[in-house]
Chain A
Amino acid sequence: MPHTQSDPYLPQPARILRVIGENSQIKTFVLAFTDPAVNASFRYQPGQFLMVSVPHCGEAPISISSAQQATPGEIHLSVRRAGKLTSAMHLLAEGAIIALRGPYGRFFPMSDLCGKNLLFVGGGIGLAPLRAVIQSCLADRGRFGAITILYGSRTPSDIAFRADLACWEQEAGVQCLLTVDTPEPGWSGAVGVVPKLLDQVALDPAASKALVCGPPLMIKFTLAALSAKGFADQDIITTLERHMKCGVGLCRHCHLDNKLVCVDGPVFTKAELNTLHVMELA
């Protein structure tokens, strides 16, 4: 057989090194390929995703939530419990083996971000792919301007990535603002949807880039609010979530007009999305 060398569907086993409970719905799995050679040569960029296999559950696309430079030899996948595969994954403990293939997809344009002030706007699990960019920027802090992180959750107990947020806040030139939809006793922070936090930050849109990820409605309102703030469409970058089966541009589950999110995305600028019929903007 001439094609066995490069089977695009064949994942590599990876071991769960640690599991970090982010909230009741989200866990971050720290992984490394069981084959040290594979692990050593594996390269990825912020915004890319992996096709994750869990025994008997098939595969699902999960975005990588770590940056290569920040977590050498380790891959972080932050997973929200949603369907069969992610529920099964949540039952797995340290030492368990799953399988991964990738990385896939267009990543955040890191070189375009250099020298810019960066505004990250995340909601819920949407902070996962942004976390990879933030880690990457912090690993090379001097190349980027001010970093502002806006993060929305449903309730204070739903706030994920607390350890990361606490860490980032300590860094020079990093500001983190949190908000919740519904407060709980003891919450003294902001209440309301994420776009409302935009009013609290002063950024020169011309010198900034905004990176947005979250649920569809949050993306919709955030993108509108950013445009209202004066961000140009090509300076607003988001990443989309879609159902995928192959990850390599064949199965077509992630179709978006004439594009396929797995290969043409998942990272898109608002300028690009404007030409498409996107649920997140509808």
Chain B
Amino acid sequence: MSSSHILKKDHLIPLLRKLGKAYRLVAPMQNRHGDTLFAEVASVETMALDLDHQPQESLKPFLFPQQEVIAAYEADQAGYALHPRYAAPPPTLYFGVRSCDLAAILYMDVIFSQRTREPHYLGRRHNTVLVGLNCNAPFPNCFCDATKNGPFSELGADLQLTDLGDRFLVTAGRAQGETIVSRWPQFFSAAEEAEIKKQYQLYLEARGGFQRQVHVDLAIRRLAEGMVDEAVWQQLSLRCQDCAGCAYVCPTCTCFTIVDQPRSATSGERLRCWDACTFAGFTRMAGGHNPVEPKKAAIKHRFLHKLKYDVEKHGRPSCVGCGRCLDICFGGTDIARFVELASEE
């Protein structure tokens, strides 16, 4: 069972300072240009912690980087040898993780260990502590209520924070969270009944605070029933700008490609890079044949994967409602647009 504590806001920085000594600290920070990104905290003193804006990307770049070396190779007359390379990040505490991004990490945990244990993701995921932050006020494009993983996180966090104004209600979700509370007990006090009630009140308010109605359930049902008209895919494929941005900012998109990059005539590196199922080259075979009709069927697959196949396989869609693809989509072919088109009778 989880236990509840109170952390006064005055004690947040002192706590982070302690945590920063025990872990590599990664937190959402606003940079001098005004963008908020998860970044490594170099100094607790000067960090511009930003808990008011949605980090423009999830933790995916940290746990499953856009490009990483998975092996180095040497190839010459004498032979051909590949040596695996593993990043070994120090124990890392990710602070201020929203419920959508937490849900996405749980999804990636499954994807990267279910069929095959994927050493690079699991290596980066190993020794991580996740400190969640519940969203009292959903951001403009969010719809995690519709994907049923927010606005307050239900799973995944070691510690979960709720902003009660001058203090945080802290819930220890997993063992690592309890460890933190018991290691630095000076910062925590027991939560009172009123504070827990207040959290529930905030949760209800947050649920009412969504600015977008995205009927994910309805789209899932219509896909399951095969009721989505082919014209929908046609329309989406006409508008899609083929940038791959939706897959890259999506916290649950895990498609990748593997390429060799030579460094010299006799050596090189094998890279694993993000890829997107919407690209024609994603499925095109060496001879030029493409089993997936470019654009139309590729886009269809993207949405079916998230809202049909993963529902069948995992019991829930692999969209976590973070709204980032709505923020970035060039052509207006994001998941909310799809849900809207699919929901039309």
Are A and B in direct contact (Cβ within 8 Å)?
yes
The answer, yes or no, to whether A6 is at the interface (CB within 8 Å) is yes
Known contacts A1-B119, A55-B75, then 10 further A-B pairs from the complex at CB < 8 Å, ordered by chain A residue: A1-B86, A3-B123, A58-B259, A97-B79, A243-B285, A245-B275, A250-B116, A251-B275, A258-B313, A279-B292
The answer, yes or no, to whether A253 is at the interface (CB within 8 Å) is yes
Q: Which residues of B contact A57 (CB under 8 A)?
A: 260
The answer, yes or no, to whether A73 is at the interface (CB within 8 Å) is no
A55 and B73 within 8 A (CB): yes
What class of interface size applies to chain A in its complex with B?
35 or more
Q: Which residues of A contact B286 (CB under 8 A)?
A: 60, 82-86, 243
Q: Identify A13's interface contact among B81, B111, B287, CB under 8 A.
A: B81
With A58-B270, A99-B80 as contacts: A253 and B118 at CB distance below 8 Å:
no
The answer, yes or no, to whether B139 is at the interface (CB within 8 Å) is no
Q: Which of B2-10, B183-191, B249-257 contacts A (4 or more CB under 8 A)?
A: B249-257
Within 8 A of B (CB), among A219-273: 241-243, 245-246, 248-258, 263
A253 and B126 within 8 A (CB): no
**CA of A257 to CA of B303, assembled, Å:** 11
**CA of A118 to CA of B268, assembled, Å:** 46
Q: Which residues of B contact A135 (CB under 8 A)?
A: none
Q: Which of B80, B88, B116, B275 has the most CB of A within 10 A?
A: B80
Q: Identify B84's interface contact among A10, A248, A253, CB under 8 A.
A: A10
Q: Identify B257's interface contact among A245, A256, A280, CB under 8 A.
A: A245
**CA of A43 to CA of B191, assembled, Å:** 60
**CA of A8 to CA of B257, assembled, Å:** 14
Q: Which of B11-19, B169-177, B214-222, B276-284 contacts A (4 or more CB under 8 A)?
A: B276-284
The answer, yes or no, to whether B39 is at the interface (CB within 8 Å) is no
Q: DSSP majority for the B interface?
A: mixed
B283 and A263 within 8 A (CB): no
B116 and A248 within 8 A (CB): yes
With A1-B88, A56-B268 as contacts: A257 and B119 at CB distance below 8 Å:
no
The answer, yes or no, to whether A98 is at the interface (CB within 8 Å) is yes
Within 8 A of B (CB), among A133-156: none
B75 and A250 within 8 A (CB): no
Within 8 A of B (CB), among A53-87: 53, 55-60, 82-86
Q: Which residues of B contact A3 (CB under 8 A)?
A: 86, 117, 119, 122-123
Q: Which residues of A contact B308 (CB under 8 A)?
A: 258
Residue of B nearest to A242 (CB): B291
Q: Which residues of A contact B291 (CB under 8 A)?
A: 216, 242, 256, 278-280
**CA of A251 to CA of B121, assembled, Å:** 13
A253 and B257 within 8 A (CB): yes
A interface residues with partner B (beta carbon < 8 Å): 1-4, 6-11, 13, 34, 53, 55-60, 82-86, 97-99, 216, 241-243, 245-246, 248-258, 263, 277-280
Q: How many residues of B contact A (CB 8 A)?
A: 51
Q: Which residues of A contact B80 (CB under 8 A)?
A: 13, 53, 55, 97-99
- Cβ-closest 10 pairs across A and B: A83-B286, A55-B75, A3-B119, A82-B286, A258-B309, A249-B115, A279-B291, A248-B116, A82-B287, A97-B80
B117 and A58 within 8 A (CB): no
Q: Which residues of B contact A2 (CB under 8 A)?
A: 122-123, 126
B81 and A9 within 8 A (CB): no
Q: Which residues of A contact B301 (CB under 8 A)?
A: 255
Residue of A nearest to B313 (CB): A258
Q: 1/0 contact trace for B242-277 toward A, CB 8 Å? A: 000000000000111111101000001010100101
8 A-B pairs in the complex with CB atoms less than 8 angstroms apart: A3-B119, A55-B73, A56-B75, A243-B283, A245-B258, A250-B112, A250-B254, A279-B291
**CA of A10 to CA of B85, assembled, Å:** 10
Q: Identify A255's interface contact among B84, B116, B277, CB under 8 A.
A: B277
The answer, yes or no, to whether B240 is at the interface (CB within 8 Å) is no
Q: Which residues of A contact B112 (CB under 8 A)?
A: 250
Residue of A nearest to B272 (CB): A9
Q: Which residues of A contact B71 (CB under 8 A)?
A: 9-10
